[in-house]
């Protein structure tokens, strides 16, 4: 089957948005300027000099321009010195990054959320793809798994979490739903999320599950038992009567691919490898990438349509 080709309707606007993503003119808001230094607290121990806002700003600059920690400190001295502010050194950035709380900005809010969920791996250490292709994978390849929930209407990431590679996708869906604000209309995921706990978590949020049953699945609650039919069983019965392809078209399941597209954008812009070595810093780095991608999405996105030849 030939690959579908697309054309972009708003190319002039999207072209300008691509340029604006990496402009060197950095606008420092009043929130960052006035909240650069931490407030004095009555707790014991050495007081913090820099606030979480300052650390978040510094680490965002680092990830946006692919800088090492020492390079980030040097760039910040050039940027912030004009404002008369001191700059945290690279050891402070590394230490404070372990416990930094990262919030995902949502700049384009719509109505009820139609969320697509997926997970993908980010490499921590190990050989490159060329060595693996030529000589096979070694024993020291280590990965982390990043889980995201994407608003299919706006393309923004509404929830994110990072785990080790041995955590299954279905175990994190409840946490993603807790992180998503506002009412949810539907949650779409692949067959990995076809579990009772996930259907219960989606139902508790008042949402509709758009999850295909796995191959060879069986009905959980038959018609001769007490209780109303389960939504998952109704989906399975519909697929048996009309086929999986028709169910995907009528349920809107194909919109789930926007989560895979988001991972493609994330790895294209920031690379698929994490630079931090400790798990806490890796989690902060991954969530900051999601926050930066949301701001890039708000600047401008292409409006494409399929072209049939």
Beta partners for residue 120, in sequence order: 146
DSSP structural state of residue 252: T
**264 Cβ contact partners less than 8 Å away, ≥ 6 residues apart:** none
Beta partners for residue 304, in sequence order: 8
Beta partners for residue 160, in sequence order: 148
Cβ pair 55, 97 in contact under 8 A: yes
Q: Angle CA(241)–CA(246)–CA(247) in degrees, nearest 5?
A: 80
Q: Domain 113-259 maps to which CATH number in 1.10.287, 3.30.420, 3.20.20, 3.30.70?
A: 3.30.420
Q: Distance between CA atoms of 28 and 38, rounded to whole angstroms?
A: 17
Q: What is the pLDDT of residue 1?
A: 63
Cβ pair 174, 289 in contact under 8 A: no
Q: Distance between CA atoms of 94 and 96, rounded to whole angstroms?
A: 6
Q: Distance between CA atoms of 62 and 72, rounded to whole angstroms?
A: 5
Q: Give the relative orientation of helices 279-299 and 257-270 as an angle to the nearest 10 degrees.
A: 110
Over its length of 309 residues, how does the chain's per-residue pLDDT go in tens digits? 677 788 888 888 888 888 887 776 666 777 777 888 887 655 555 567 899 999 999 999 999 899 999 999 998 888 887 778 889 999 999 999 999 999 998 877 667 899 999 999 999 876 666 666 777 766 667 899 999 999 999 999 999 999 999 999 999 999 999 999 889 999 999 999 999 999 999 999 999 999 999 888 888 887 666 767 888 989 999 999 999 999 999 999 999 999 999 999 999 999 899 999 899 999 999 999 999 999 999 888 888 878 865
Q: Distance between CA atoms of 112 and 207, rounded to whole angstroms?
A: 10
Q: What is the pLDDT of residue 224?
A: 60
Q: What is the pLDDT of residue 43?
A: 57
262-268 long-range contacts, CB within 8 A, separation 24+: 262/118, 262/148, 262/150, 262/155, 262/157, 262/293, 263/118, 263/120, 263/146, 263/148, 265/293, 266/290, 266/293, 267/120
Domain ranges of the chain: 5-101, 113-259
Q: Distance between CA atoms of 51 and 287, rounded to whole angstroms?
A: 18
Q: Distance between CA atoms of 91 and 29, rounded to whole angstroms?
A: 25
Q: From 195, 187, 194, select the one nearest 152 (Cα to Cα).
A: 187
Q: Distance between CA atoms of 41 and 47, rounded to whole angstroms?
A: 7
Segment (H or E) for 292: helix 279-299
């Amino acid at each position: 089957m030939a690959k579908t080709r697309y054309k972009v309707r708003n190319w002039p606007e999207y072209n300008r948005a691509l340029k604006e993503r990496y402009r060197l003119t950095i606008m420092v808001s009043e929130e960052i300027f006035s909240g650069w230094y931490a407030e004095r607290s009555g707790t014991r121990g050495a007081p913090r000099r820099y606030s979480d806002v300052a650390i978040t700003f510094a680490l965002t600059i680092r990830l946006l321009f692919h800088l090492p920690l020492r390079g980030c400190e040097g760039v910040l001295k050039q940027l912030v010195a004009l404002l008369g502010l001191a700059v945290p050194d690279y050891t402070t950035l590394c230490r404070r990054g372990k416990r930094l709380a990262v919030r995902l900005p949502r700049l384009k809010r719509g109505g009820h959320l139609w969320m697509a969920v997926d997970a993908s791996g980010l490499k921590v250490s190990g050989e490159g793809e060329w060595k693996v292709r030529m000589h096979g994978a070694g024993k020291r390849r280590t990965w982390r798994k990043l889980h995201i929930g994407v608003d299919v209407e706006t393309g923004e990431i509404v929830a994110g979490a990072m785990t080790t590679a041995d955590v299954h996708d279905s175990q994190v869906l409840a946490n993603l739903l807790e992180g998503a604000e506002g009412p949810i209309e539907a949650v779409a995921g692949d067959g990995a999320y076809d579990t009772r706990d996930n259907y219960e978590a989606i139902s508790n949020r008042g949402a509709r599950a758009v999850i295909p049953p796995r191959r060879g699945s069986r009905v959980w609650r038959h018609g001769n038992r007490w209780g109303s039919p389960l939504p998952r069983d109704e989906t399975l019965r519909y697929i048996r009567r009309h086929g999986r392809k028709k169910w995907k078209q009528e349920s809107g399941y194909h919109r789930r691919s926007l989560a895979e597209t988001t991972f493609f954008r994330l790895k294209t812009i920031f690379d698929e490898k994490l630079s931090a070595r400790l798990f806490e810093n890796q989690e902060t780095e991954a969530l900051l990438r999601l926050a930066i991608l949301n701001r890039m999405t708000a600047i401008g996105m292409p409006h494409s349509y399929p072209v049939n030849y």
